[in-house]
Amino acid sequence: MNEKDWNFALGSLGNPLADIKDWMLPPYPDWMEEKMRKTTNLDYKDFLKRKLIDVPNEGISIVDIELNPMLFDFQKDIVKWCLKKGKSAVFTMTGTGKTLIQCEWAKHIHNHTKGKIIIYAPLAVSYQTIREAKTKLGIEVNHCKEKSDLKDGINITNYDRIYKFNPKDFCAIVIDESSILKSLDGKIKTTLIEDYKFVPYKLACTATPAPNDYMELGNHAEFLNVMNYSEMLSMFFVHDGAHTQKWRLKGHAEEDFWDWIAKWSVVLTKPSDLGYEDNDFILPKLNIHNIKTISDFRLDDSYLFPVEAETLQERQKARRKSIPGRLSECEKIVNKLDEPCLVWCDYNLESSELKRRLHHSVEIKGSDSNEHKEKAMIDFTEGKIKVLVTKPSIAGFGMNWQHCSKVVFFGLSDSFEKYFQAVRRCWRFGQKKPVDVYIITSNLEGNIVANIKRKEENVLKLIENMVERTKDTISKNIKELTFEKTKYQPTIKMELPSWLT
């Protein structure tokens, strides 16, 4: 709508601002905003209030007595708030009980709708969720591989089976480890956003996302029907210079952006972020052991001495050539342990060599069947496997391995997220021992270690900033429900005695 059309519309609309709200979504063009403000004679503060983005409650209300007493207070309040919103995200640190939160949420949605609910989760996390829901909450969760396995109530399956189900069969959807939505053109992400668009109740759960990963936040908002990704960019962001793919928050919109995030998500790293007692949610000590092997490999004949690898190809060459030295160090650490150990690697050659050299080890590689992968991860969880050798891309998300306090990285990639998630399989709330992480690299891979350390420092600062910016609004939203009272509904008519009347 251009300015000429606007002037024509003024002649036929009695209250332009109110009418326009009914058929046109913000943001409005700058000239239109000015016209609207002048035409309606609004105070500017009132004008801004009319532009605020609201995320309405579309869910159900329950009272505390209906919640499972096994939940911690902060978990109960999160469940109540998510139920009331109807569509929301839970961004909380690993080990804060997202599995219990989503199962309790799903139970109350089923009690209300009597329909089918689907939980999508990474490989092997399904069995873990079923076990925790049963043993800790007494909730039955049905594992299904295809549509014929569905039952009324709560169902769970793996992401790779998403195409076997019809979204129209479900009244609610839960996506565990919902960081899968960050993939810009991923097929699973597209299916979740587009095919499940009209499911009435939705819950997304993942660890605290990187605050500068606006793609992940935008895709979560789109999945929850809060706002689509492009609308979010146009409302809160501007192109960063000449780079059309880089976006940064508008200076004046930063506060509004984080306030908007707090209207549809819960963000916390520990309960005290929102004013609760931490109690059992205090992490044990994390000990990082950097072990550097010496390699005399030269990247090419032009180098007189070995130098640190710079490019991706150079790093891959250096890593392959340093395998023998790193294997010797890994053997010294792992083979003398009398407790569970988790060994992370990135390449099949590394994986097969580790399996051959490490005592009592089981290997999981990408080409293995899903049945083997699931069984091996479950067996490691139950203590049937002493040493598990695998890749962060296979088992780095969703599994709870607090029984293990020894972690070995047989080299590092440049992905901080993979490193972070792999460490957090063991170093998470519920871990009772100090966790030892051994990072084995060669002298040629110093740049990779420095890069991961730099990314870690930046991300942790950004997460702390994200929590700080949202905690007041989130705490207010959640704790408002604590004081709600159930309205008394009398079922028997009361009659006063004659002597009192």
Res 32: pLDDT: 57
Q: What is 64-280's CATH number?
A: 3.40.50.10810
**Does 265 score more than 60 pLDDT?**
yes
Contact 344, 383 (CB under 8 A): no
Here the tokens at position 36 are 């609207």
- If one compares 123 and 309, the residue with the highest pLDDT of the two is 123
Q: What is the pLDDT of residue 280?
A: 84
User: Is residue 467 very low, low, confident or very high in pLDDT (cuts 50, 70, 90)?
Assistant: confident
HSE-up of 60 (CA within 13 Å, CB side)?
Answer: 17
Q: How far is CA 5 from CA 31, 32, 40, 286, 421, in A?
A: 12, 11, 18, 64, 53
DSSP secondary structure of 399-450: ---TT--EEEESS--S-HHHHHHHHHTTSSTT--S-EEEEEEEEGGGHHHHH
Length of the chain in terms of residues written: 501
> How confident is the model over 468-499, as pLDDT tens digits?
888 888 888 887 765 444 445 667 777 777 77
Q: pLDDT tens-digit profile of 360-410?
A: 999 999 999 999 999 999 999 999 999 999 999 999 888 999 999 999 999
Digit-coded pLDDT (tens) for 41-79: 555 455 445 555 678 889 999 998 999 999 999 999 999
Stretch(es) of the chain classified as CATH 3.40.50.10810: 64-280
Please report the pLDDT score of residue 147 as a whole number.
Answer: 94
* pLDDT at res. 298: 56
Output the CA angle 399-405-408, nearest 5 degrees. Answer: 85
CB atoms within 10 A of CB 496: 7
| pLDDT (mean) for 159-169 | 94
Q: Strand 237-240 relative to strand 243-249: parallel, antiparallel, unpaired?
A: antiparallel
Residue 27 one-letter amino acid: P
Q: Could you tell me which of 118, 129, 122 has the C-alpha nearest to residue 196?
A: 118
Beta strands in 128-185 (DSSP E): 142-143, 153-158, 170-176
Question: Which carries the bigger pLDDT value, residue 313 or residue 48?
Answer: 313
Tell me the pLDDT tens digit for each residue of 215-231. 888 899 999 999 988 88
> What is the residue whose two structure tokens read 């051959």?
356
User: Span 286-455: which CATH code?
Assistant: 3.40.50.300
Range list for CATH 3.40.50.300 in the chain? 286-455
Q: Regarding predicted confidence, which is higher, 43 or 235?
A: 235
pLDDT at residue 417, as a whole number: 84
pLDDT tens for 90-120 read 999 988 999 999 999 999 999 999 999 999 9
pLDDT average, residue stretch 438-453: 81
pLDDT on residue 17: 45
The tokens for 254 are 């930063």
